[in-house]
Chain A
Amino acid sequence: MVFLNQGLNVIRDLLKNAITTGQLGTNGTSPDPTQTNLVAPTAATQLTVTKLTADRFISVEYLLPSTLGNGIEFKEFAIRDSSASALKRGNFAGITKTNTKELVMKTTITIEQ
């Protein structure tokens, strides 16, 4: 017995519907599954994300506009549900935001056998 792809896509849709916002933070420590939030979230960066789906696949796109987060060196990000609980956290080498640029983040989730 196996999960059919359409069964996996039910799981995909549950996750997709739960995700609402993304947020950046300034702490670059590695993610740990027991964490519940960004280590040092930057409040103004919590913004609605755009979501796309394909077979067993979710793509989440986050846009930080040129007017927000300027002068801050970001090192972590999270995607959140409607109650602002962090569902996924990641870290990266610091990116210092400036007002001449937008910052775009694309992240993916896969549902696999």
Chain B
Amino acid sequence: MAVDLVESVIDKQQVRDELGDEPDATPLFTAYDDLFKVKHSISRFFTRDINTSFILDHTTNGVLDTSTLGDFRGANVLIRVVNPNNTFRELFLDDELKDVTTTATWNTTTHILTFTAGQFALSQEIALNQESYIRATLTAEGTSLANLIFKVSSNGGSTFNIVTNGAETVFTTPTTAGLKWRIEATGSATVTRITVTYSTV
């Protein structure tokens, strides 16, 4: 026991020696936010007619003379668009969902949607799953957002509700034709992220 106590005292002295005097300055610790997120985003389903293309082992298109060598398949027809947790996000990493009529600059290198007065941006369907979407909330991030008019459609673009950034809108004439967003500019502005949450109730 005595030996243990002596060794304990010696140990404490060694610890003091190694630590040195009481510090006269309080150390500061900085927390760094270096999180990153892996997110799965939109999934889109298309059908494509094979038309008269010859296809080996096909019950009807596998007969030459009836079918034709070469690719005679039709264009992709969009039939479903689904998002995790009914939340769509546009980060301008690609322009797959950019409608061809868009006049604003949708830059997939800088990942910025840039507007001047009079320009607009329109999306393709961002949700389409044989459902009528009753409510949606569009939230945009960027600069000079006061120069932008935000709109959301729940009938495939036939009519749009004008919405306040970050506020929920309720649709009175939704159909199963899907959700689209549209932004119109009254002055210069940029958008770096669009989030649209939606529900069927």
Residues of A whose CB lies within 8 Å of any CB of B are 1-3, 8, 11, 15, 31, 54-57, 59, 65-67, 77, 88, 90-93, 95, 99-113
A selection of 12 A-B contacts at a CB cut-off of 8 Å is A11-B38, A66-B61, A67-B58, A99-B58, A100-B49, A101-B47, A104-B47, A105-B44, A107-B40, A108-B40, A109-B39, A112-B37
Question: A103's contact among B47, B57, B73, B84, by CB below 8 Å, is which?
Answer: B47
Question: Residues of A contacting B131 with CB < 8 Å?
Answer: 93
Q: Does more than half of chain B's interface fall in helix, strand or loop, or is it mixed?
A: loop
Q: How far is the CA of A50 from the CA of B80 in the complex (A)?
A: 19
Q: Which residues of B contact A95 (CB under 8 A)?
A: 45, 47, 79-80
Q: Mask for B21-47, Cβ within 8 A of A = 1, else 0?
A: 000000000001111111111111111
Residues in A whose Cβ lies below 8 Å from that of B46: 103-106
Contact across chains for A109 and B34 when beta carbons are under 8 A apart: no
B38 and A107 contacting across the interface, CB-CB below 8 Å: no
For chain B, which range describes its interface: under 10, 10 to 19, 20 to 34, or 35 or more residues?
Answer: 35 or more
Taking CB atoms and an 8 Å cut-off, the chain B residues in 41-68 that contact chain A are 41-50, 55, 57-61
Q: B91 and A110: CB pair below 8 A?
A: yes
Chain B residues near A90 (CB-CB < 8 A): 40, 43, 82, 84
Closest to B111 in A: A55
Chain A hits for B45, CB < 8 A: 92, 95, 103-105
Given A8-B36, A101-B48, 6 other A-B contacts at CB below 8 A?
Answer: A3-B34, A3-B36, A15-B38, A65-B55, A90-B84, A106-B96
